[in-house]
Amino acid sequence: MLSAAGLGSDVPHAVQHGLSTRLKTIVDHAVADYTALNLPILQGELDHQAARNRARAYRPDENLDPEFEGLPLDPEPVPGAPFLFTISGLADEADAEVPSLPPLSDDAKAALRVELKLADDYANMIGREICTLLLGHRTRIRAAVSQHVEPQVEALLEELTRSLDAPFDPRESSEL
């Protein structure tokens, strides 16, 4: 999708991440609507999991700002300095109190696999549609990056250049 938008490796990661996150949200919402209307077994499983999640008292890895999603909950342990507790340990304790999902029969598992494939196919179709739409806006997107993002990057680089100390003093090397 980023390629269809004309955003290559020369565009800052924050811009790429912001757009890809928003596009993924569009796909996720479309698939959720499709699933609710057309895939009853999958929707039932999602509803069970949502109820299970609501029953969990402590969910430290949910509703995070995008820049924190996927990051480890706890720092790396330091040898000889044990933790009194860990965030992930507290979350595991809360999860242990929530009952497991009900088991599925072999037929239900097979039907669920079919519905998962349909949901995945639908997500791919929506992604292709988004790519087609983005291709029509590629020039405008690149122009916006040039107008709004590149000046910010240039200003940051200029400020960084001014604030960095020289790795060595050229006068010192001539004295040696």
Instruction: State the Cα–Cα distance between residues 24 and 22, nearest whole angstrom.
Output: 5
Sign of torsion over alpha carbons 29, 30, 36, 39: negative
pLDDT band at 173 (very low <50, low <70, confident <90, very high): low
What global pTM score does this model have? 0.66
> What is the mean predicted confidence (pLDDT) over 124-128?
97
Angle at 42 between CA 132 and CA 73, to 5 degrees: 80
Confidence at residue 166, expressed as pLDDT on a 0 to 100 scale:
57
Instruction: State the Cα–Cα distance between residues 96 and 102, nearest whole angstrom.
Output: 15
User: Which pairs count as long-range contacts for 168-176, CB under 8 Å and 24+ apart, including other chains?
Assistant: none
Residue 34 has pLDDT above 90, yes or no: yes
List pLDDT tens digits, range 65-119: 877 777 788 888 888 888 888 888 888 887 777 777 788 899 999 999 999 999 9
> What is the mean predicted confidence (pLDDT) over 19-38?
94
Considering only CA atoms, which of 174, 42, 166 is closest in space to residue 109? Answer: 42
Q: Could you tell me which residue, 101 or 123, shows the higher pLDDT?
A: 123
Place of tokens 């097979």: 110
pLDDT band at 168 (very low <50, low <70, confident <90, very high): low
Confidence at residue 114, expressed as pLDDT on a 0 to 100 scale:
98
Residue 127 has pLDDT above 90, yes or no: yes
Angle between helices 13-38 and 40-55 (to 10 degrees): 120
Phi, psi dihedral angles at 78 (to 5 degrees): -100, 125
pLDDT band at 42 (very low <50, low <70, confident <90, very high): very high
List pLDDT tens digits, range 49-74: 888 878 777 778 777 787 777 778 88
What the block records as the tokens of 73 is: 């909950």
Residue 146 has pLDDT above 60, yes or no: yes
Confidence at residue 156, expressed as pLDDT on a 0 to 100 scale:
80
Residues 6+ apart with CB under 8 A from 45: 101, 112
The CA R_g of the chain, rounded to the nearest whole Å, is 25
